Amino acid sequence: MNAARSFARARRAADAERVLAAPLAALGAAAAAFAAVATVDPNVPGHYPPCPVLSLTGLHCPACGGLRSAHALAHGDILTALGANALALTAFVTFATTLALWLTHRTFPFTPTPRHAWTAAAVTAAFTITRNTPWGTPLIAAVP
């Protein structure tokens, strides 16, 4: 009987480890990416390749300034991160919240629907269009 309990306990521990493997891997990958961007300054030319959309079209894509935003956020400078790319900062916060919910086995406060995806796409499109107009110049002030 004790062997059966020991086996059941070991099985529960293995299941718990398996359940945490994916979110911990995501956390490790995100931490490594932020550590790399925190270490190598994207504001210095030549450390990262240029944005292909900006290079080919002259237009700022939704991700332009994302590395600068991540670098500033990794150094605790939220205002600079917001100025570099507000959409990227929103994505970082959303990712961190999602990861925290995943790690703590909590459910999302809402169930994502196609409407949420379309809203995110519309916000991204509006952000991209606005930052490439004269009115959106402040949105790209930190992007060379």
- Does residue 106 sit in helix, strand or coil? coil
Name the helix (H) or strand (E) containing 76: none
Q: How far apart are CA 83 and CA 69, in angstroms?
A: 8
Distance CA 69, CA 111 (A): 29
pLDDT of residue 36: 94
What per-residue confidence (pLDDT) applies to 1?
Answer: 54
Query: Which is nearest to 35 in space by CA: 83, 90, 73?
Result: 73
Whole-number pLDDT of residue 3: 60
Cα separation, 83 vs 114, in Å, equals 30
For 24-40, the pLDDT digits (tens) are 898 899 999 999 999 99
Answer yes or no: pTM beyond 0.85: no
Mean pLDDT of the chain: 85
144 pLDDT exceeds 70?
Answer: no
What's the confidence (pLDDT) of residue 106? 79
Cα four-point dihedral sign 68, 70, 72, 75 = negative
Distance CA 91, CA 54 (A): 21
Q: Which two three-digit tokens encode residue 9?
A: 């306990």
Side-chain half-sphere of 67: how many Cα atoms within 13 Å?
18
Please report, for the chain, the start and end positions of each structural domain, with discontinuous segments joined by +. 21-140
Q: Which residue has the tokens 């990416």?
A: 33
Predicted confidence band at 93 (pLDDT cuts at 50, 70, 90)?
A: very high
Q: What is the C-alpha to C-alpha distance for residues 114 and 136, in angstroms, rounded to an integer? A: 28
Asked if the model's pLDDT at residue 109 lies above 90, the reply is: no
* Ranges assigned E (strand) in the chain: none
